[in-house]
């Protein structure tokens, strides 16, 4: 990372309105499936293993996959927002506990290319749905989650004068606390947890709001 300003951002529920795994769970998981989050909470599964279990229910036919991608509802201004940030010296780094399989496709749909994506690689496989793998060769590898977002933010802080972070879920709490409150963007679970901890942050509804705020004169 060499930019003077870096925005590290979550993807599911941050750039998109809907989490891919939640769509899979609500539409394709049978009622007899185990409660993967309960197993994770009880220490029976790692976060990565829970996500792999959810993704294993992903349909494999092309039409159903396209519908799921549509239903994630990425910010319609994603492409133009990233272009504006880049034009003003910002580097965008996506850090996700989900999978690059759908992240790459949704970015391509938005006309976004050459953005760093740190996520669990995966492929659609017959009988295994979206089968994800741990990115063991990544410098930010985490056995528990797949991707260590905290390590990504620390790396950004070592290389850039200004670092911002945006997220919405439990894996985003520790990295969010590494950046200054005025560069900390949160919604959903993360926003509630920051409030409970007495930590300041900037709320947002759509990811493009973050871009506009970062580009405001300070």
- CB proximity list for 135: less than 8 A, separation 6 or greater: 118, 119, 120, 121, 141, 146, 147
Range(s) of the domain holding residue 182: 5-17+77-120+140-214
What CATH number is attached to the domain comprising 163? Answer: 3.40.50.1000
In a domain, 188, yes or no: yes
| Average pLDDT of the segment spanning 108-128 | 96
In a domain, 135, yes or no: no
- Say how many domains are in the chain: 1
In a domain, 33, yes or no: no
Residues 24-76 have pLDDT tens digits of 999 999 999 999 999 999 999 999 999 999 999 999 999 999 999 999 999 99
What is the model's pLDDT at position 1? 47
Q: For the chain, how big is the Rg over CA atoms in Å? A: 17
pLDDT(162) > 80? yes
In a domain, 43, yes or no: no
In a domain, 112, yes or no: yes
CB atoms < 10 A from the CB of 101, how many?
20
Residue 53 backbone phi and psi in degrees, to 5: -65, -45
- The pTM (predicted TM-score) of the whole model is 0.95
Residue whose C-alpha is closest to residue 93's, from 74, 113, 119, 115: 115
In a domain, 125, yes or no: no
Report the C-alpha gap between 87 and 186 in whole angstroms: 24
Residues 194-212 have pLDDT tens digits of 999 999 999 999 999 999 9
In a domain, 26, yes or no: no
In a domain, 60, yes or no: no
């Amino acid at each position: 990372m060499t930019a003077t300003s870096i925005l590290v951002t979550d993807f599911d529920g941050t750039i998109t309105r809907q989490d891919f795994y939640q769509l899979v769970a609500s539409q394709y998981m049978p009622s007899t499936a185990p409660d993967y989050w309960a197993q994770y909470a009880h220490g029976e599964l790692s976060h990565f293993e829970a996500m792999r279990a959810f993704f294993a229910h992903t349909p494999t036919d092309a039409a159903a996959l396209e519908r799921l991608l549509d239903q994630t509802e990425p910010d319609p201004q994603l492409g133009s927002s990233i272009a504006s940030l880049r034009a003003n010296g910002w580097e965008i780094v996506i850090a996700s506990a989900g999978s690059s399989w759908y992240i790459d496709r949704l970015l391509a749909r938005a006309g976004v290319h050459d953005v760093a994506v740190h996520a669990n690689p995966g492929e659609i496989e017959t009988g295994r749905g979206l089968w994800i793998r741990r990115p063991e060769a990544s410098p930010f590898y985490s056995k528990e989650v797949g991707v260590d977002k905290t390590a990504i933010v620390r790396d950004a802080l070592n290389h850039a004068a200004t670092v911002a972070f945006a997220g919405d879920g439990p894996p985003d709490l520790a990295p969010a606390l590494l950046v200054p409150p005025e560069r900390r963007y949160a919604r959903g679970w993360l926003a509630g947890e920051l409030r409970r901890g007495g930590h300041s942050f900037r709320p947002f509804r759509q990811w493009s709001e973050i871009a506009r705020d970062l580009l405001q004169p300070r």
